[in-house]
Amino acid sequence: MVLLTWNTKYSVGVKALDDQHTILFGLLNDLHSAMMKGEAQRVTGPLLRKLVNYTHTHFTSEEKMMEATEYPGLAAHRAQHRELMNQVQDYSARFERVEVTLSFKLLIFLRDWLTAHIEKDDRQYGPWLNERGIY
C-alpha cells in the first residue's frame, strides 16, 4: 500500500516541477513502506535525510523559477517553504538523536501538507510560469 499516488490533478503545468513533485511522492512512499515494515532506524534515518535534502533542492529550484519570472507571490510562497523546512529539519534532528521515532502522524502531516500545497499554492504559479515560457 502506498501513501501517495501521483496523478494529473497534482500537475502544475511545469514538467521539471511536476517531475520533482513525483520524486517527493516517491520518497514519502519509501518512508511509509519502511515504517510499515518496521525497519530499523538505520534504514529510516537515511530515507528521512534524503527526503529533507531533496525537499530543500526542490524548494530552491521552484523559487529560482519564480524569481526569474518575478512571480508576485514569491515572498509568501518562500515563507511557506521555510516554515515546513524548519519543522522537518527539527524533526529530523530529533530523530537522529533518537528523541522521536518515525510516526504515521508525521507521514500523514507531510502527505497532507504536500498535496494541499501543490493543489492550492503551487497551482497558482503554473500559469504565471507558462505565460513566461516555462513549461
Predicted pLDDT at 40: 67
Give the pLDDT score at 64.
98
Q: What is the pLDDT of residues 2-37, one digit of tens each?
A: 999 999 999 999 999 999 999 999 999 999 998 888
Look at 83 and 48; give whichever has higher pLDDT: 83
As a CATH number, domain 13-131 is 1.20.120.50
DSSP state of 99: S
| DSSP 8-state class, residue 104 | H
pTM of the model: 0.93
Domain boundaries, the chain: 13-131
Q: Go through 108-135 and write b for each residue having 16 or more CB atoms within 10 A of its CB, e for each that does not.
A: eebbeebbebbeeebeebbebbeeeebe
Q: What are the pLDDT digits (tens) for 92-132?
A: 888 888 888 888 888 999 999 999 999 999 999 999 999 99
What mean pLDDT comes out for the span 76-84?
Answer: 97
